[in-house]
Chain A
């Protein structure tokens, strides 16, 4: 198909021949200038660790290596410490890549959880469907990559139970999430199957408030806070790595505790 951006009538090709020397000198000058400024740029960005620089690439390679080290350190049978109910922070601390005023509440009645990838049953789930599944409560420490923490009380269906229910391939490498706030995320299967990894629907025994992920969010005791997507709309089981919101900005993917 013809491009919409191409002009209807083309200029006479002889114009190029008439001005060939000038065009050539222009190109040469541009190349020279471009080369010089490119050289200057590499000097300016000596400390740059953006994705494209050599240092940035090396640091990201070490970060990938650290994913493997953390997966090896992860003990699927080790439980995170749990705490008495009296220490639970109410309400929990809000965190997202935007301020709390900008949250977009999800309509729980219209909401559906889509299921995709290496699963036997791909029908979508309503809140009522999820409420019928066995529930578990955990009182765990939330640790943010920034350094702050609080103790929270979460309940919902264990992700393992849900994955078994939908006939997921439990030997797949990743469980990935899509959310209503465009915050993609993915975790390793070992963490997904950990007994303290929930699809949470309640906080401190109350329905999840809007800022904390109503109607469904992930809550795992063995990863940093940013690995817990809120307002989940789709879960995919697969072997293809999908970077999350913060991971694509340089944060470590595994981020296990």
Chain B
């Protein structure tokens, strides 16, 4: 009897990635690329690290004025979409469900499995501990980019934000490092999505349907 109920739920239960998540994910992907490419164009006018320049092919905007126009238009998309995503994640319980708990033992096991190339991708609906940490890190980095961005944009109106980072250049450095964290995440994220293309398809189509919460195995992520 339980089996029948479970199956009937699973056939029309919610998808791994409901449509709002998919829409916000792809809007965010475009906004991130716009912000990173235009940010590199702005950076070049006064570099932070002596010999680090970004070449034209990876920059958005043919010179600083255009990069700035892109950056200050893209910021609205990034911030508003990001805000909607955070509200959605908290209100629907998605963050708690997908990203928590993170146990030290799980982290160690995932790292060990990864190093032995034994990591399993059979069940897309369960994130491993390292995945959970990476998603949390990039979300915090995204929020930090908005905060450090506000400090760099409005260092007088929000001078208290600048004080958090010491000086104006401190805020600028933090804004640059936040970008570096997001770019590192992107490299891992895109590489893994391409290695396991089902995940990419899931972010377009919604992915596998989830079993109703009360029938879900609380230890689904553990080896059986």
Residues of A that sit less than 8 Å from B by CB: 49, 56, 58-60, 62-63, 66, 70, 73-75, 78, 80-81, 141, 143-149, 221-222, 246, 249-252, 256-257
Contacts and interface: CB of A to CB of B under 8 A. Distances in A.
Contact of B68 (A58, A75, A251, A257): A251
Contact of B156 (A56, A62, A80): A80
Given A146-B45, A149-B168, A62 B73 contact: yes
A250 B69 contact: yes
B64 interface: yes
B61 A75 contact: no
B66 A49 contact: yes
Q: Give the interface centre of B73, B76, B156 by most chain A CB atoms within 10 Å.
A: B156
A66 B156 CA distance: 17
B64 A60 contact: no
A56 B62 CA distance: 12
A60 B65 contact: no
A78 B156 contact: yes
Interface string B174-193: 00000000000000000000
A85 B147 CA distance: 30
A250 B66 contact: yes
Contacts of A257: 154-157
Contacts of A141: 155, 168
B72 interface: yes
B70 interface: yes
A75 to B, nearest CB: 6
B159 interface: yes
B88 interface: no
A152 to B, nearest CB: 14
Which secondary structure characterizes the binding site on chain B?
A: helix
Contact of A62 (B48, B76, B154, B157): B76
Contacts of B65: 246, 249-251
B169 interface: yes
A-B pairs, top 9 by smallest CB distance, nearest first, are A250-B65, A147-B46, A146-B45, A62-B73, A59-B69, A257-B156, A146-B46, A80-B156, A148-B46
16 contacts: A49-B61, A49-B66, A56-B69, A59-B70, A62-B72, A62-B76, A66-B72, A78-B156, A78-B157, A141-B155, A144-B46, A145-B45, A148-B46, A221-B156, A251-B68, A252-B69
B42 interface: yes
Q: Give the interface centre of B48, B68, B169 by most chain A CB atoms within 10 Å.
A: B68
Interface size of B as a range: 20 to 34
B127 interface: no
Contacts of B43: 147
Nearest to B77: A62
B17 interface: no
Contacts of A78: 156-157
B42 A256 contact: no
A10 to B, nearest CB: 46
A78 B43 CA distance: 28
A45 to B, nearest CB: 11
Contacts of B68: 145, 250-252
Contacts of A73: 154, 157
Contact of A147 (B42, B73, B154): B42
A145 B169 contact: no
A58 B66 CA distance: 12
B105 to A, nearest CB: 45
Contact of A63 (B61, B64, B69, B156): B69
A213 to B, nearest CB: 22
Given A80-B156, A221-B156, A250-B65, 14 more contacts: A49-B62, A49-B66, A59-B66, A63-B69, A141-B155, A143-B155, A145-B45, A145-B68, A146-B64, A147-B43, A147-B172, A149-B169, A252-B69, A256-B154
B31 to A, nearest CB: 13
A149 B173 CA distance: 13
B168 A59 contact: no
